[in-house]
Amino acid sequence: MILNSVFWAMPVVNALVWIFMNHFPDYLTSEMLPYCARIPLPASARLMGFAAVMIPTGVAMTGAFYLMRLFKLYEQGEIFKLNNVHCYKKLSRVLIWWFIAGILCRSLLTTALTLHHPPGQRMISFGLTSTDLTTLLVGLILMVIAWVMEEGRKLQEDQDLTV
């Protein structure tokens, strides 16, 4: 139920943040926005910012969906079954996509928030953070775990069929 609530809250919270972005205190906006953004932001910049942030949010929502599916399988007593392996594979892919989406989002966000600036003051940025690398590493580790679970499931299936 918690994941289901989080799933539906993510886009709503993002929308509310971007709607009320110009009303937040400076210390909060300086933490949330790239250094090049200037408050107040026009509606078009806030809309483009929301669209950029929804890319990793959409990936996170997909991850929450697969986590819900995985926990439902656990609730049904399925542990080393094919459906679990599929969930782990999909979650590993979600983390790898989240790595890509984070980089893309920051680049698009910088562009969206400076597009209304005069020529010569518009920016695009590209960056890689330690959080991005951690996400990629966890995604690759989860991919290995899915592979090990698949091999274990095959061994268990062979053993179950042996008389």
Taking the whole predicted model, whether its pTM rises above 0.75 is answered as: yes
Would you tell me how many other CB atoms lie within 10 Å of the CB of residue 149?
Answer: 20
Is residue 68 within 8 A of residue 7, CB to CB? The reply is: yes
Average pLDDT of the residues in 30-46? 90
Rounded (10°) CA dihedral 145, 150, 156, 158: -150
Is residue 109 within 8 A of residue 34, CB to CB? The reply is: yes
Cβ burial of 135 (10 Å; 0-12, 13-18, 19+) is buried
Q: What is the pLDDT of residues 82-139, one digit of tens each?
A: 999 999 999 999 999 999 999 999 999 999 999 998 999 889 888 899 999 999 999 9
- Given this model, what pLDDT does residue 163 score? 62
Is residue 91 within 8 A of residue 66, CB to CB? The reply is: yes
Domain range annotation of the chain: 2-161
- Six-digit token string for 69: 């599916």
